[in-house]
C-alpha cells in the first residue's frame, strides 16, 4: 500500500508541474485573448510572413498576423493583423515587411505617422512596403558584376 501512495504522490507532483508549465507557456506566448483591434494592409508580395507572425512597432511585439489572402481583383496580398487596443495608428502610418536579421524570420513592422487623425478598426493602412526578395537581389548583384567585366 505504501508503494501505491508514493506513486500517486509522484504522479500528482508531475501533473502539477506539467500544469504550471502549460499556464506559464500560455501566458508568455502572447496568445492570450487581450483586447486587440484588427487592421488590413495590401502588399505586392509577403514572402516569409505566415499566420501568427509578429507585428512590431519600434522593435516591440504589439500584435500578430491573423489572415493572409490574395485579392482576386488586384492580385495583391491582403494581410489582416491585430494589435493591442491601446495603440492608436495615425492615418499616415506605414506597414513594412522586415527581416529579423540575415537568417531570421520576417515580421510586419508598423511605422507610426505624425498625423492627428487615427485609423479606425477594420480599416486599411495605405502606405506599405513589400518583402524584399534576398535571393533575387543576390542574383542581380552577381549578374551585374559579370556584365561590368565585359
**What is the grid cell recorded at 96?**
513594412
The reply to whether 46 and 113 lie within a common domain is: yes
How many CB atoms sit inside 10 A of residue 90's CB?
13
For 124, the domain range is 36-139
The reply to whether 40 and 98 lie within a common domain is: yes
**What is the grid cell recorded at 127?**
502606405
Instruction: Identify the band that residue 68 occupies on the pLDDT scale cut at 50, 70 and 90.
Output: very high
Model pLDDT, residue 33: 55
Q: 69-102 pLDDT, tens per residue?
A: 999 999 999 999 999 989 999 999 999 998 887 7
The reply to whether 88 and 67 lie within a common domain is: yes
Distance CA 39, CA 90 (A): 12
The reply to whether 75 and 125 lie within a common domain is: yes
Q: 119-143 pLDDT, tens per residue?
A: 998 899 999 988 777 777 788 888 8
Instruction: Identify the band that residue 149 occupies on the pLDDT scale cut at 50, 70 and 90.
Output: low
Model pLDDT, residue 128: 92
Reduced to 3 states (helix: H, G, I; strand: E, B; else coil), residue 116 is coil
Reduced to 3 states (helix: H, G, I; strand: E, B; else coil), residue 92 is coil
pLDDT at 148 over 60: no
Q: How many domains does the chain have?
A: 2
The reply to whether 100 and 117 lie within a common domain is: yes
The reply to whether 96 and 133 lie within a common domain is: yes
- Higher model confidence: residue 11 or residue 101? 11
Distance CA 28, CA 6 (A): 33
Q: Categorise residue 90: left if φ over 0, alpha if ψ from -120 to 50, beta otherwise.
A: beta
pLDDT at 111 over 90: yes
Distance CA 87, CA 33 (A): 16
The reply to whether 19 and 75 lie within a common domain is: no
What is the sign of the dihedral through the CA atoms of 53, 58, 62 and 67? negative
Model pLDDT, residue 150: 53
Amino acid at each position: 500500500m505504501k508503494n501505491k501512495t508514493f506513486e500517486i504522490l509522484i504522479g500528482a507532483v508531475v501533473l502539477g508541474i506539467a500544469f504550471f508549465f502549460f499556464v506559464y507557456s500560455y501566458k508568455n506566448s502572447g496568445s492570450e485573448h487581450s483586447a486587440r483591434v484588427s487592421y488590413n494592409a495590401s502588399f505586392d508580395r509577403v514572402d516569409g510572413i505566415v499566420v501568427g507572425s509578429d507585428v512590431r512597432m519600434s522593435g516591440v511585439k504589439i500584435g500578430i498576423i491573423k489572415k493572409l489572402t490574395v485579392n482576386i481583383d488586384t492580385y495583391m496580398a491582403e494581410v489582416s493583423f491585430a494589435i493591442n487596443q491601446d495603440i492608436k495608428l495615425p492615418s499616415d502610418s506605414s506597414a513594412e515587411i522586415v527581416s529579423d536579421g540575415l537568417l531570421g524570420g520576417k515580421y510586419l513592422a508598423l511605422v507610426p505617422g505624425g498625423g492627428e487623425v487615427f485609423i479606425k478598426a477594420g480599416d486599411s493602412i495605405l502606405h506599405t512596403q513589400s518583402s524584399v526578395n534576398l535571393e533575387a537581389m543576390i542574383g542581380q548583384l552577381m549578374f551585374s558584376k559579370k556584365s561590368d567585366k565585359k
